[in-house]
A and B are shown apart, each in its own frame.
Chain A
Amino acid sequence: MDMPVLSLRNLTVDIPTRHGTLRPVDDVSWDIAAGEILGVVGESGAGKSMTGNAVIGLLDPPAHISAGEVLLEGERIDNYTLAQMRRVRGKRIGMVFQDPLTSLNPLLTIGEQLSETILRHLDVSRSEADARAIQGLDEVGIPSARNRMGAYPHEFSGGMRQRVVIALALCAEPTLLIADEPTTALDVSVQAQIIALLKRLCRERGMAAMLVTHDMGVIAETADRVAVMYAGRLAEIGPVSQIVGQPRHPYTDGLMASTPAASAGQARLRQIPGAMPRLNRMPDGCAFHPRCPRAQDKCRVNPGPKVGTADERAACWFPIEQDEAAA
């Protein structure tokens, strides 16, 4: 197998506070291969956005990577200086966030922003940069791209703005795209457009992507593989069809079953009792055990088996077996 584009090795993020150290990301490992979309799902506070921010070196102090490694194409980047990291961001890692307005400078035309980014990261002439910018806008489906180069961000609708952000993220031809809730602020019809766009661009460019979202439907339609996070830890990781179709971790199972779409026509939705623990009140053992129907004594003491690199998909001592699910 080729070298993965992004490898996380036991990535751990700590936030020291005066009440003790919080651990929003705990021992997370995974690989993303070229051309692969890894969907990262979890509920709010599961650590999925924090993981993305750790990869691109944008953790807000006092949060910091306290253990583990981030490897971009085999090269360790978690110990890069701020200046080195700035060259990585935009050039080798493209980023798309939830709110397109925060990623765009309201005072510059989108043409200026695109050309600037291209000139900063690639060794091309000014006119070449402009040409590439137009080509980039074209590629993300902005109609009459040449004429819109002089437009300001506020002159675009929400969906078009997100397209511009994607063009901006991709203009320096990065090998990895990190998209954090890219469609959450958009309407359903526009969301479908953006998802289709992201999928097409990843396929065409052979780019690896990490898609962070809370929306199971978006993940199911977009991702090749899925990582399910719970309370900062990786609960389960595997191919999308298996995660959605035959979940092994009881949390994944509960998450899938509680979406209204899954139980269409039933009077009641399946629900997981309780809520995710706060970071400062983490239970011992498996973080999910207080809500888990399968929990036994072992789960209250030992965190689940490690996942991400070994064969085991789910961090669970008593995973759901396939014959069980069928019954």
Chain B
Amino acid sequence: MSNLPDATRQGVEPLDRMEPAEVVQPSRWRSIWDADVTWSFRHSPVAVVAAVVTLAMILSAIFAPWIATTNPFDPASLNLMNGFSRPGVPNAFTGESFWLGTDDQGRDVWSTILYGLRISLFVGFMAVLFALVLGVLLGLLAGYVGGWVETIIMRVADVQLTFPSILVALLIFGVARGVIPIEYRDQMAIWVLIVAIGLSDWVQFARVVRGATLVEKNKEYVQAARLIGRKPGAIMLKHILPNVLSPVLVIATISLALAIIAEATLSFLGVGAPPTQPSLGTLIRIGQDFLFSGEWWILFFPALTLLALALSVNLLGDWLRDALNPRLR
């Protein structure tokens, strides 16, 4: 009996009077940023610290050219004599002091970290954005259209899930390498990295959005929109999309941490960002060569930065999931 199309749902007893929802004048913020979420943020020290660290890193990446003492990739500003300066100790030859030290080429580690953070964050954000757009669109389509469209999209997703995402990224990277002519390789490397990580990460977006869409599309507001003859595209984007975004936000945050780590892993393996545009992962790979000869700072500070960044973003994502979860419909 339960699968009857018109099984009446009597006795729907809304508990809205139980909710202590304050009736404030609606502001633009309220629709996106529910008051409960901000409250939970204010009362979670971990979230506040994580947010401050993340924000500080993003800002220093954006303003790297102004904060950094030198541009480490401008050969004119380098002095080989400054090589292997210890952190905070004046260089024996030039007398210059670098508070995080320098590498073998005399590049200031502090500056390379700022510039590396730029690449890492840029790749991370773009890869997540790519995965998000792709995953959300495919998830919406699968959930709303159903039928064989759904079957194809979700089977592809299932197959991809059986491979570790780093393997998928490696594969895509390898293929791109073979296709792109050698003179463009360094130039295109960042974009290849973005596509590789993004393609390995769209599945979770698609799965979550499809699930939420299946719930939303049977709600009566969607039927009301169909009734007046709105096209499926308009219904998906204007009606359903805004209502499935909160879980997407959570996944996007956690994915950002994963994407940054994935980028670092690929770069560490030597298949990611080229040495001309080093990311944190590239810096760690370079630093690794000097670890056992005593120049620990070349590895340590980029690694610490990566750890702090990935941890903060992840903690932020965890908090966001907990804050939004009881409200996920």
Contact = CB atoms under 8 A, between A and B. Distances in A.
A22 B10 CA distance: 27
A280 interface: yes
Contacts of A325: none
Contacts of B14: 44
Contacts of A279: 17-18, 20
Nearest to B12: A44
B178 interface: no
B183 interface: no
A281 B23 CA distance: 10
Interface string A210-229: 00001000000000000000
Interface string A184-199: 1100000000000000
A14 to B, nearest CB: 12
B1 A280 contact: no
Given A98-B11, A184-B11, A185-B10, A44 B17 contact: yes
Interface string A20-63: 10101000000000000000000011000100000000000000
A71 B83 CA distance: 84
A158 interface: yes
A20 B1 CA distance: 44
A17 interface: yes
A277 B16 CA distance: 11
A18 B10 contact: no
B6 interface: no
A19 interface: yes
B13 interface: yes
Contact of B20 (A20, A158, A185, A214): A20
A157 interface: yes
Interface in A65-106: 98
A18 B13 CA distance: 24
A278 B17 CA distance: 5
B15 to A, nearest CB: 7
A184 B17 contact: no
A320 interface: no
Contact of B39 (A18, A49, A98, A278): A18
Nearest to A232: B17
What interface size band does chain B fall in?
10 to 19
B1 A19 contact: no
A145 interface: no
A23 to B, nearest CB: 11
Given A157-B1, A158-B1, A22 B20 contact: yes
A276 interface: yes
Nearest to A191: B10
Contact of B10 (A184, A276, A277, A278): A184
A276 B14 CA distance: 13
Given A157-B1, A158-B1, A185-B11, A19 B17 contact: no
A22 B11 contact: no
B22 interface: yes
A236 interface: no
A276 B18 CA distance: 12
Contact of B13 (A17, A20, A24, A44): A44
A280 B10 contact: no
B164 to A, nearest CB: 36
Nearest to A21: B20
Given A158-B1, A184-B10, A185-B10, A45 B15 contact: yes
A181 interface: yes
B11 A280 contact: no
Contacts of A24: 18
Contact of A45 (B18, B20, B21, B23): B18
A45 B20 CA distance: 13
A158 B7 CA distance: 12
Contacts of B10: 184-185
Given A157-B1, A184-B10, A17 B20 contact: yes
Contact of B18 (A22, A157, A181): A22
B44 to A, nearest CB: 14
B208 to A, nearest CB: 27
A19 B22 contact: yes
B2 to A, nearest CB: 9
Nearest to B11: A184
Contacts of B15: 44-45
Contacts of A281: 23
Contacts of A98: 11
A40 to B, nearest CB: 14
Contacts of B22: 19, 280
Contacts of A15: 18
Nearest to B39: A18
Interface in B1-47: 1, 10-11, 13-18, 20-23, 39
B17 A45 contact: yes
Nearest to B40: A18
A323 to B, nearest CB: 36
Contacts of A19: 20, 22
The 6 closest A-B pairs by CB, nearest first: A184-B11, A45-B17, A19-B20, A44-B13, A17-B20, A278-B17
Interface of B: 1, 10-11, 13-18, 20-23, 39
Given A278-B16, A280-B20, 7 more contacts: A24-B18, A45-B17, A45-B18, A98-B11, A184-B10, A214-B13, A279-B18
8 contacts: A18-B20, A20-B20, A44-B13, A45-B17, A45-B18, A184-B11, A185-B11, A277-B17
